Every structure is written in structure tokens, then in C-alpha cells.
Amino acid sequence: MNRSIRSMGSGFYISKTVGIVGILVGVAALSTIIALSVVYSQEKSRNTQVSPTNGGTTATSTTPTPTPSNKPWDQYRLPKSLVPDHYTVTLWPRLEPDSNTGLYIFTGHSVVKFKCVEDTDLILIHSNKLNFTRQENQQLAMLTSTSGAAPVPSIRTSWLQTVTQYLVLELDAKLVKDQSYQLYTEFTGELADDLGGFYRSEYTENNVTRVVATTQMQPTDARKAFPCFDEPAMKARFNITLIHDHGTVALSNGMEIETINITIGDQHVLQTVFEQTEKMSTYLLAFIVSDFSFINSTIDGVLVRIFARRAAIDANQGDYALNKTGPILKFFEEYYNSTYPLPKSDQIALPDFNAGAMENWGLITYRETALLYGKDFSSNSNQERITTIIGHELAHMWFGNLVTLRWWNDLWLNEGFASYVEYLGADKAEPDWNVKDLIVLNDIHRVFAVDALTSSHPLSSNEEDIQKPAQISELFDAISYSKGASVLRMLSDFLSEDVFKQGLQTYLREFAFETAVYTDLWKHLQQAVTDTHTSLPSKVDEIMNTWVLQMGFPVVTINTTAGTVSQQHFLLDSNAVVTTQSKFNYQWIVPIRWMKTKAPQNIFWLQEKSVSVEDMKVGGADWVLANLHVVGYYRVNYDQNNWERLLGVLSTDHKAIPMINRAQLVDDAFNLARAKIISTVLALRTTKYLKNEREYMPWKSALNNLEFFYLMFDRSEVFGVMQ
């Protein structure tokens, strides 16, 4: 899923005249700021508290869920006694309010076939906000055998456990291990406008309000649409049938088999039947009824369709997405060395959608602004946003959908991976944009601001600590997406992209249509390292554990006079106290790519708190630049002499430093100053060279940081002194 809070890349295009004027204004502003910086530094030193960042959101560490009782229906996790195999689900959404209640509703019935893997006299199946019709047995469901080989227990009692969101069925005898059964239910739910489960989206066209029935199941809302074993590891196949009004179109994960006219009571409606899905998780299900139009093309036998409001399709607003989906899809087939496993890829733009987009397998849902593009009113940044979001969602078709993480505590790997490779897919679609570099601004710099707080949390959580739906939802934050992307990019770099892909491809082959845990990927990457004789200082899991199992990141300090390299946990608030313990003592195994006076050097691994490195001891006009191309997830500080030499290079020959590192120097310096590690004056001096800068990223980095200083001038006692 692509979060609505996620800051996508911003295109930046200016004319030469506007650019020159902007530079002159910027230089004048910088001069003023530098002149006032000494006053600011003096006043800042009086404050002991560093203001929170505006980078993004993060959840505090979760605590284990208290257990209300020892009864299975009071636990938030399903018991391991039953495993679903297949669902047959029929749903009928009403796009007009009910005449009696005034509510929009849907009705449905389902049959789930499941296997008993442990003898049990209890069936727990997820259900939330559904009203069930009592069956002939006066219970909320009917239980039958699929084989007839064993007697079927009767349902002794049935009820809804609302807190843990279960339909509970107690039986008068035990289900038999290795036998299969099926459960039939009929139910009614509200087609609410709450953006979760099976819900309604509304829009106005020609002064007429129109209603769309659509879905958002991730993470735990499939249970609002029909009773199901609603955990990602409970994969099954689905046969979906939708009943809908004439003049509307029904969509689901599978391809439509047929649409026929039927009569229910006195209502003449349509019934659309869909092909059976592949084995998949419930959170990836989707079904939509709308009056939308579409455009389509075929790419190597895969049908690609873009659905949207008729006016948007008629205005050609879906053309850009249609044209870019093919190249991105083909790129990922090559990257994963795996053919796209479905016959179609539908993408639909919805008027009301909470996330940026959702990777439902075969039917991806988007906000309108994340899929539709019009030359007359959309900006270049809108265009780039569309490309990267399509890349993000198509990346999930394999990583997340084909292979799914067993439980939500590993969400970071699912979303972090897609947030990394989305840039690779977008780069394939738009090779002239250099979009791959934007991960530094959009993700690394952004999440640095969050991960430098004591309220941050590790990428990976203990499975037992993530139980409730609310705890699961908290994981969809900047740490999971942007830090996940950043550390995976670092991993791909120090392994090499070829070794990284080799391990990834064998991982996908082994776990196709199944579930895995993040350590399974480490095992496959380690095997690729062994097979290719790649040299590493430790095993893949030992390196990555320091980045995954503790919060935060280091600032690496290089003293070019003494020839030493050290690390420490970077915190924006220099007076903050970290109360969360780490078995690694907030020390990391750090891969350092670096250059010495324009010459790239071999990668150096920092495995201790502080070490001597003779090669990094320089003098005269020589200089050292670390974290080359910002492939590492850490900040860099230098001794004063090296800072002065780097400032001199920026002033006289700024292109000697790679463009992405020029942006890094500015961002590192300003944040080191906020943490009181270097002076504010030094940070401001990194911007003086910008009068000669013609690239977007260094300017954007400077403007982002200067914006914070402007806010501080306005909101602190410094403003009074400045007057």
C-alpha cells in the first residue's frame, strides 16, 4: 500500500530567467541568514530542547496485548487448528439507500472450505460489523462435510465476539484432523463511507451524485465484507460473484467470465462471475461496482486496463498511466526473473480513497491524483508521483502478493522493499528524469528526521507484540516505508545489485504463493553471497540485524587529522535520554563508501565504536568525502579541517563532489548543527556555493533545511533579538 502521508518526489523545472532571479534572491537571503547566524547561535545555546522535526510520523513501541481471558475467542490471533482452502463469495451492494433505514447496505452469502489440522470442537472465523441470517439449525452458520467420509458435528451455539471480531461456533463434537469441511453463511453489512472493508465512494458529475461500491481490505477489513480467516498467512483461492445494477460494471481480482441478466424478487439486475483467483491473502481481495469507463492495451498477453470516471477517461487522463504501466511491468518481470502471474492488471482511480494506492492482486486501487494525469492542469511533480506509485504497486505483485510476509510485524520488508524498487521501475519508464536519486530527498532525509528521535522504534517488532488491529495499523509509518527502503537500498549496494537480485529471485521461487518471514530473505541473500564468493565482514543477517532490530542510526565521524573513524547514535536533541535498551548498544556494522580527493576508494566496514584508518588521514589540499552517493543509512561528520577543505571545493569546483553528495553535505551539516555537534555558522556556509548550483537536489535540500531556520526565527526569542 502506498500511504497518503508519503511524500512523493517533486519535479522541478524552471526557465533560465526565473532560475537566475531565484538564485539572486536566494543568495541575498542566505547572506542575511549568515549575518544573523551568530546571534541565532548564541540564543540557540540557551535552549536545551530541540524542536520536533516535520519529517513524518512514527508510532511508539507497542506493548504486548493484555489477554482478557484464556478463552480462544478472546485472543486476537486465530488458533492453528483450521486452514482455509477456498471461498465462494457472492455480494450484492446497493447503490441506493434502503427505503426503511436510509442506509446503504450490501447483502451476501459465502461458503468457505477449510481443512482441520488439529482436532477441535471450536470454529473461529473473523467477522466485523456483519449481521448474520440464522439458518435452519437456528445458528448463524451451517457446517457440512466436503467428503462425507466423517460425521459432521452440529453447531451447539454461535455468537459474535465483537472485541476480537470473531464469529464463534461451538460444536457438540470435534472436527477430525485431516478432514475438510465447509461453512455457509448469509449476511448483511453497511456500505458505509468509512473507507474500509466494502465501502461506498461518492462523486458528483453533472450535478448528480454517483455512488461507487469499492474496497480497502488491508490490513484487517476483509472481515467487514464477509466472514473469513483474515490473517495474511491464511491464503486461499476465491471465487467471487457480484450482483449489480444495469448501467454499472463489476470488477474483482479475477477476470470476468460472464455477465448475465437475472431477476431477484422483482428486481432485474446483472450478475458478473469472475475467474478463480490464485492462492492469496484476504487483505489483497478487491471488488468494485461503478459506472466508470476504461481504456486498455495488451502487453505480452497481459491485459492492462485503466478505469476512472467517464469524464476523466474522455479527457485522456488515463493515457499516461496506461503508457507507463507496460514498461514498468516488464522491468519487474526481468528484475524478479518471473513472469507476471495473472492474466490482467486493472488499475482504477477512486474519488474517495484513504491510502495513495493499494496493491490488490490484479485490481490495483488508487487515489485519482495518483493515477490520472492531464497536461492542462497536472504538474510535473504529479507526473513523477504517478510513475513512482505505479512502480510501488506493481512491485508488490511479486513481493507481497506472490510471496507474502507471514505476519504484520514484518510489514517493513513488504513496504520498504516496494518503496525502494519503485524508483527503479519509475526510472525504467522515465529514464531521463534521474528519478532513482530522489529516494534521498523523499525517503532517506525524511525518515532521518523521525528516526533521530527517542520515540522511534526498530524496523522489526516481535510477533507477539503486534496483535490488535490498532497495533497493526500503527506499523504503517515512515519507519516501515522509508527506513525500510533506505536500509534495503544500502543492502543492495554493498552486496551489488546482481547478488541482491540473485538472492531475491531464489527467495521468490521458493515461497511463491506461500508466506515467509524476513529472515528467509536473509538466508537466500547469504546463499547468493556464498555462491558468488562475495566478500563481507560478517554474515548478511549479522550485518542487517544491527539495522533492523534497533531503532535509530549512527553519525559517522571521520577525523582526517588523526586518521580515526567513529560512530555514535545520532539524536536531534543532544540532551535526550534513550530509555529503550538495545542488545547492540546502538552500534552498527556500517558500510562506508568514500572518496579521497575525487578518487573513489574501496568500501570500508566500520564494525567498532572507533577505529584508526590510516588511509583516511590526509593533509594539504586533500579531502575525504564519505557515504558516496548516499547509499548508506547514516550521517557523516568531519574534523574542522576537512569541513573547511570540502567548503573550499564547493566554492571553487563543486562538480568535483557528486551532485547527490552536495545535497547530503547540506542536509548533514544543518542536522548536525541542530544536534549541537557542529556550529550553525558552519551549516549555513554549506549553502554559500549555491549561487553556482544548477541541479535540483542540492537546492531542495537547502530550502528544506532553511525553512526550519525561518520557522525558528519566527517562533523563538531570537526574533526579538533580531528586531
Point out the catalytic residue in the list 384, 393, 422, 693.
393
Annotated active-site residue 393? The verdict is: yes
Q: How far apart are CA 553 and CA 540, in angstroms?
A: 18
CA angle 451, 456, 457 (to 5 degrees): 115
Task: Consult the annotation and say whether 392 binds a ligand.
Answer: yes
With 0-12 / 13-18 / 19 or more C-beta atoms within 10 angstroms meaning exposed / middle / buried, residue 121 is middle
For 225, 264, 559, 704, the CA distances from 570, given in Å and listed in that order, are 45, 65, 17, 20
363-367/208-216 β-pairing: unpaired
Which amino acid is present at 512?
A: A
Question: Cell digits for 619?
Answer: 593533509
Reported in sequence order, the residue ranges of 442-552 that DSSP labels E, i.e. its strands, are: 515-516
Q: Is 415 annotated as a binding residue?
A: yes
Q: Measured between alpha carbons, how far is 124 from 140 in angstroms, rounded to an integer?
A: 12
HSE-CB for 238 with a 13 A CA cutoff: 30
Question: Which DSSP state fits 539?
Answer: -
Cβ–Cβ under 8 Å, residues 347 and 353: no
Whether 126 has a binding-site annotation, put simply, is no
430-437, long-range: CB within 8 Å, 24+ apart, which pairs? 430/324, 430/384, 430/387, 433/11, 433/384, 435/9, 435/384, 435/387, 435/388, 437/659, 437/660, 437/697
CA-to-CA separations, 400 to 53, 333, 481, 595, 716, in angstroms, rounded: 31, 15, 14, 37, 46
Please report which helix (H) or strand (E) contains residue 199, including its range. Answer: strand 197-205
- How deeply is 339 buried, as exposed, middle or buried, from its count of CB atoms within 10 A (0-12, 13-18, 19+)? exposed
Question: Do 377 and 390 touch, CB atoms closer than 8 A?
Answer: no
Q: Are residues 181 and 146 in contact, defined by beta-carbon separation less than 8 angstroms?
A: yes
Residues making up the annotated binding site are 392, 396, 415
Residues labelled catalytic: 393
Show binding-site residues for Zn(2+): 392, 396, 415
